[in-house]
Each structure stands twice: as C-alpha cells, then as structure tokens.
A and B are shown apart, each in its own frame.
Chain A
Amino acid sequence: MYSFDMTSEQKMLVETVRRFAEKNLRTVYREAEESKHVPQAVVQMGWEIGLLPGAIDAQFGGYGEYSALTSALYLEELAWGDLGITLHLLTPNLFALPVAQFGNDKQKEQYLAQFCDEKFPKATAALVEPVIQFDPAELKTTAVKEGDTFVINGKKTYVPLAKDAELFLVYADEGGVTQAYIVPGNTPGIKLGKRVKLMGMQAVEMYEVEFDNVVVPKGNRLGGLKGIRIQKMLTLSRITLAALAVGQARAAYDYAVNYAKNRVAFGEPIAHRQSIAFMLANMRIELEGTRLMVWEAAYKFDTGEDATKAAVLAKLYADKMVLEVTDGAVQVLGGHGYIREHPVELWLRNGRGFATLDGNVIG
C-alpha cells in the first residue's frame, strides 16, 4: 500500500526529538554558530535521547534495529533545530553505522558496545578529500596491503571532531575500490591539520587530517575480507543527508510563514500579497514533495529493495529544494533576512552546503 502514517513508536520518537530541538537547539544555535562551538551540555542531552543505540541490535549492546526511515524522521527534526549542532551530535554515527551495516561479527562485538554507553563516544570518519572534483567512489587516499597490515596514505578534510577522536573510520582506495579501515586515534602517522572554516554549519568542529604511512592490522578493514559496498553506503548517505535538507528547509519555511503573517507593509501583512504567498506555497509544495521522495528511498532501503535510484533522485532534488527554500526565506524577510539577528541567513548558508556534501552516513 501507499500509506503515509508513522507508527506510534516513530511518532513518539519524532515528538521527543522535536521537543529537544525546540528547547535545546533553537535556544543556543546562534551562540554555537558564532562561537564555533557546541555546548557540552547540549551534546550530553542529545546523546541521552539514545538515537544511536536505538539503531543497534541488542546482540551488540543496543536496543533497536536500524531503519533508514526512522532515521529520516528524526534527522528532519534535528536539522530543523540546528544543522551544525546536529552534525556534531551525530558524529559518532559516522563510525558506528557503517560498522553496524558492513562490519563482521568480530568488529561489531569489539566496537559497537561503546556506542550504547552513557558517554558520548569519541569516534569519527574521514572520507572527504580537499579537491574540487570529489568522488567517494574514486578516492585519492590509498590503502595498500603489506603483509598482515594495511598502510594508509592521503589527505582528508571535513573530519568532524577529529581533534579528540579515539577512533577513525578512514575511507581509502584499495586497488580501485573504496574500502573503510578502522584506525585508532593514537596510531602513529595521523597528523591533525587546521580546523576547516566553512560557509555555514560552523558550530561543528571539522578538521583536515593527513594519514602519513598509517599502519593498521589487516583485521581492521571494515567487513573483513568481504569489505564494504560503497554504493550501498552512498545510497544510505544520500537518504540521510536529504532528510537533513528537508529539516533545514522546513525551519526556513516555518520561519518565513510566521514572519510574513506578522510583518505589516502598506497597511497589511505581507502574506496578503500573492507575490509573497505564492513563494511560500511553492516552498511548501517542494518541501512536501522532497520529504516523500526521502521516505520512499528510505522505505526501499529498509525493505531490501534496490534504493539506489530513489536515493539519487531524492538527494538531487533535496539539494536544489533546500537552497531554493532557504533563499526564499531570506527573500521573504527582505532586509531583515540579511541581518544576523534572524536565523534565515544562517539557514541559507547551511542550505548551500548540501549539494557539496556526499558520502557520509549520518543517521
């Protein structure tokens, strides 16, 4: 059937995350963006919701089962709250979810338990490289097998929370195929570079990291001999990033609707004019359409169908939509939209980012 109603568990989860986003993200988002720092208390509160353990099997210490659809639902709510803080909060996912998806039993047993703990785990992933033409399926970073080890060499960027990371999941090219390697943070040869300054989502600390002859045991290759399937991972990445885009766009849309109903010009609210009202209507239409595309791709992923095409289309569409909607929100607010007193300028900066982000599994 085609049906669009969440399960009661999903509704409860969405409600919880929405309340958290409203109470804990919306209250600090500007301070976090300007100071380029996420308050520790927010991180701890966010972690305590238990989103990640909810996506990990009981066998490995969690209490749930991964569902891309459920992820899409909560990601929208978090991104509605604040994108930068969300990326910080979900950084451990970048390590844990690929391990849960592609790891062998030994790796799952060894690593997943710490992600079901009370403490925010210090783990991250290094995928993106500092190039214009980035393709996760054709990385410049290499992993070469030498005896019982892999030797990793290459430069990475956009590595969130790299400074204190105790575990890295490093993606590298191994004979023309992208694979992932578990690299403990204290391994010799990991060189922390400068903090990356981005156009938006500045609350999350991201770093350049160089891997200079970093050696790991061959057992650290994710998935063992079988390895990972990069295309499947990219599919999941596209679904989850598109879900964040929907949340970011919804924030901008909600704000613009509210502003347009209250801002008076020429003696009446500006929303009384078709030029404004039609912009808002089109924002809503595109927002809803994108959300359904994200849900469809997630549903297909969860039911084991090939979700590649649906995910590609959803991400592509979401990238455009989020830029249009956040830009529209700035436009609706006019001069006030350009001022940092209102959040829409930040959301436009965030919105521009999605088309450049690809590859990581965020939720």
Chain B
Amino acid sequence: MSIEFKLPEAIEKQVRGVQIVAENAMRPDSRRLDDNEHERPTRYVAMMLPQMQEMERANINAAKARAAAKQQTALAQKTNGHGGVAVMDAPPAEAPKQSTANLLLVSIIEMLSWGDAGIYLCIPGGGLGGAAIQAVGTAEQVERFLTRYTHGGPKWGAMAMTEPQAGSDTGNIQTTATFDAATNEWVLNGQKIFCTSGKLALEESDGLVVVWATVDKKAGRSGMKPFVVEAGTPGVIIAKVEEKLGIRASDTAAIIFDNARIPADNVLGDAEVKTGEATKGFKGAMKTFDTTRPIVAASAIGIGRAALEFTRDMLAKEGVRMEYGKPRWKLTSVQADLLDMEAQLRAAWLLTLKATALLDAREENKLESSMAKAKAGRAVSLVTQKAVELLGPLGYSTEFLVEKWMRDAKINDIYEGTGQINTLIVAREILGYTRNELK
C-alpha cells in the first residue's frame, strides 16, 4: 500500500455522468421545488432509477459474497478443530479485492448535492433504510428486503429513529416492539418523527422503513432493535409531512405505529435481548451511522462546492479573481475569504474520503466518520453563509440559488447526529472515555 490521492477513472467517469443529471434534471427544478414544498422531482427520479437499480444489485451480490466467505472461514475453523489437522494445505481464501463501493457512493452524492441537496434526497432506492439493512442484516434479509429496489418502478427506503422526546438522545426512544408468539409477529406501537423520505417509502411506493424500537424498556439501549416495516402494513400512518428551512424537495414524515404487525424475521440481526455490557441493538444503530455519516458529509461538501463555484464565477465577472500563490498581504479580503472557503471544503472532503476508505476496507471508522461529519457540517454552514455575504444584495435575494443553498446546507450540521453529537463522539474516542465519563 501507499498513500494516494487519485479518483479511479471509472468513478470519475460515472461522476461526470451524474453531473449531466445535476445540470439537466436538478438545477432547472431547484427553485420551483423549493417554492412548492411537497412536489416531487419526477424528472430526476426517472433519470437516476436505472443507475440506482444497478447499484442495489451490486450491494446484494456483495452481501451474498461476504456471507459465503464467512461461512467458508467458519467451516475451515471447524475442520481444524475436529480433525486436529492444520488446514494449511487448503487453498488460501482469495484475498478480497479493495472495494470502491463507498468511494463511488460518496463521489456521486457529492455531485448530486452540488446539483440540489433537496432533490438528491429523493433518490430512489433503499436509502438509509437500505444502509441499515446492509450494516446489520443477514444476507438473507439483504436479499429479501432490497431486491425490490433492483427492478420495476421507483421505490424508496427510509429510517425512523427520532421521536418527539428523543432526538440526539437515541437511547431514550419509546416506540415498543412486542412479540406475539401466537401469530409469530412483532407488534409495533409508538410515534416517529423527522423520517426522511418516509412518505415516499410507505405511501408513494412499495418501499420500507427501518424502525428502531425497544423490545424491553428495562433493558435500556440493549433493548433497541431495528425492524423492517414494509409499505402497506396496517396500523402504519403518515401523520404529517414537515415544512422546513431547506431541503424542501425532500419529504420529512411523522409516522404513527398503532398495533402495526410485522413478521417475526423482520427484525434485523439477532432478536435476543442482550443485557449488561452487550448492547448489540444500540450498537447496530451506531454502526449504521458510521456508514451514513460520510454520506452526509459528502452531501454537505457538494452544496458547499456549488456555493463556492457560483460565488467565484460571479465575482470573476466583476473582476475579482481567485489568486493562488500571492503572499496574503497582496490579497483582498474577498480573495482571502474565497481561499478560506475552498480550504475548509477541501479539509472536510479529505476527512470524508479517509472515513470512506476505511469503510471500503471494512475497517473501524467511528472516529473518522464523526470527524468528517462534524467538519463538513460546520464547514458547509460557514461557506454558504459567506457566499450569501460575498454576493451582497443579490446573494440574499432569491434571484440566485445561494440563499437556498445556505438553507439547504444547515441540515447537514443537524441530521445523522448534530455537529455537537459528532464532536462528542470524537472527544470520547480520542480520550478513550465512555458515555458516563464524558456526558
């Protein structure tokens, strides 16, 4: 291995393709979909569908391959144990090729968000729900739940974690899942809010939502489990679609579960409630965040890049040019601001790529993904706010999109863990502290 900073050509090519989507099926609709909050970006959805279906197929195949490899390893260990004969003669398992799936994903999402962050979120596919299923589901579950996203019309997936009384405090969720042995079903009761694409997933397509619920309130975090709730399940009601500061093209749903019954094997992973130190359920949720935080960071950076490029181009028309390589006393404050904006985004992007590289190597990336998310959320807020300022009266007007980008950007410092929660995670990781030592 060696240190490298180069986007593989195949990915670069795909990103260029996405740029065409961004320019033709996103930017032209940006203002209209911001003004008309609950309208759908149909043009964008249709354009993205084939590529997303292809990606979901690859995800399913990868999960199957991983499961097969795991089984083979387990078998080899078993043989070794029983026979007492070393399995050294057995052909070595083929070294897994370095995956670039997550690198591709963040690269695409950065470009889509450069197009429009609200529209991007209406991307057809498993979404955050799919990510959770891939992170903690079995290979059988991955296939059963995600195959729908590989064919037919557009379908969406979502994740429901937040509740009115439990935001960052995810351990405090009150939605319950009770097992009904008579029917071999889980019964869900409770209310979820802030579920991105929840309505698209449950009402507007045959999608699904991964719902976090507790199977045992006394068990605390270890009682938390992810359940797959499919569209059409009786007792699942979309109570409300929120009206927001930004990302208005994306639906943010409140969902009520009123004795919603789902099959026993719709719980992801292991149903047994672990007590004491084994907080597997909660850890499952947190593991999902390790994979989704770099994605949010990428989205943030896409918006930031849009704002920076636009601001730079508009100022260039006024004769203010970016200057690289002059000593700082020769720069105007506007030029210095532009350089600072670019540097902020670059730092955030490289942190994101590192968190992603670890993910692709299937290595621990909790620290790195939280660093990337905290940095990107903060950076894009500052960069877009500065862009509005630098463009003066027109920057603040709806004539340009920068004011919308600033409103869109802010969500990235909030969802998938606020900047503060991610900073807290970074702090605990670097200090080696538990949640009791550093609250």
A residues whose Cβ falls under 8 Å from a Cβ of B: 1-7, 10, 69, 132-137, 231, 234-235, 257, 260-261, 271-272, 274, 277-278, 280-282, 284-286, 288-290, 292-293, 295-296, 299-300, 303, 308-310, 312-314, 316-317, 355, 358
Chain A at the B interface: SS class: helix
- Inside 8 A of A299's CB, which chain B residues have their CB? 3-6
Q: What mask results when residues 333 to 371 of chain B are scored 1 for a CB within 8 Å of chain A, else 0?
A: 000000110111011101101101100000000000001
Between A and B, 13 residue pairs with Cβ closer than 8 Å are: A1-B4, A5-B2, A272-B433, A280-B427, A285-B374, A285-B423, A289-B375, A293-B346, A300-B5, A309-B324, A310-B346, A313-B342, A358-B327
Is B354's CB under 8 angstroms from A281's CB? Answer: no
Is A293's CB under 8 angstroms from B347's CB? Answer: yes
| Nearest Cβ on chain B to A324's Cβ, whole angstroms | 13
10 cross-chain pairs, A with B, having the tightest CB-CB distances, nearest first: A289-B347, A292-B350, A5-B1, A277-B427, A281-B427, A281-B426, A317-B343, A313-B343, A296-B5, A312-B324
Is A135's CB under 8 angstroms from B351's CB? Answer: no
Is A312's CB under 8 angstroms from B339's CB? Answer: yes
| Nearest Cβ on chain B to A2's Cβ, whole angstroms | 5
- Inside 8 A of B428's CB, which chain A residues have their CB? 277
| Nearest Cβ on chain A to B165's Cβ, whole angstroms | 22
Is A313's CB under 8 angstroms from B339's CB? Answer: yes
Q: What mask results when residues 407 to 432 of chain B are scored 1 for a CB within 8 Å of chain A, else 0?
A: 00000000000001001101110110
- Inside 8 A of B152's CB, which chain A residues have their CB? none
| Nearest Cβ on chain A to B140's Cβ, whole angstroms | 32
Contact of A295 among B5, B340, B430 (CB under 8 A): B5
- Inside 8 A of A282's CB, which chain B residues have their CB? 423
- Inside 8 A of A4's CB, which chain B residues have their CB? 3, 354, 357
Q: A271-B431, A280-B430 are in contact. List 15 more A-B contacts (CB 8 A).
A: A1-B4, A2-B4, A2-B103, A3-B357, A133-B329, A135-B326, A271-B433, A281-B423, A284-B426, A292-B351, A292-B353, A292-B354, A293-B343, A313-B339, A316-B328
Contact of A1 among B98, B325, B339 (CB under 8 A): B98
Chain B at the A interface: SS class: helix
- Inside 8 A of B397's CB, which chain A residues have their CB? none
Name which residue of chain B comes closest to A319, CB basis.
Answer: B328
* Assembled-state Cα–Cα distance A135/B103 (Å): 40
- Inside 8 A of A3's CB, which chain B residues have their CB? 1-4, 357
| Nearest Cβ on chain A to B175's Cβ, whole angstroms | 29
Name which residue of chain A comes closest to B422, CB basis.
Answer: A281
- Inside 8 A of B286's CB, which chain A residues have their CB? none
| Nearest Cβ on chain B to A275's Cβ, whole angstroms | 11
Interface residue ranges of B31-46 to A (CB < 8 Å)? none
Is B427's CB under 8 angstroms from A316's CB? Answer: no
**B437: CB under 8 A from chain A?**
yes
Name which residue of chain A comes closest to B379, CB basis.
Answer: A289
Q: What mask results when residues 1 to 13 of chain B are scored 1 for a CB within 8 Å of chain A, else 0?
A: 1111111100000
Name which residue of chain B comes closest to A317, CB basis.
Answer: B343
Contact of A316 among B6, B340, B424, B438 (CB under 8 A): B340
**B100: CB under 8 A from chain A?**
yes
**B218: CB under 8 A from chain A?**
no
- Inside 8 A of B327's CB, which chain A residues have their CB? 133-136, 358
Contact of B426 among A6, A10, A134, A285 (CB under 8 A): A285
Name which residue of chain A comes closest to B7, CB basis.
Answer: A2
| Nearest Cβ on chain B to A253's Cβ, whole angstroms | 9
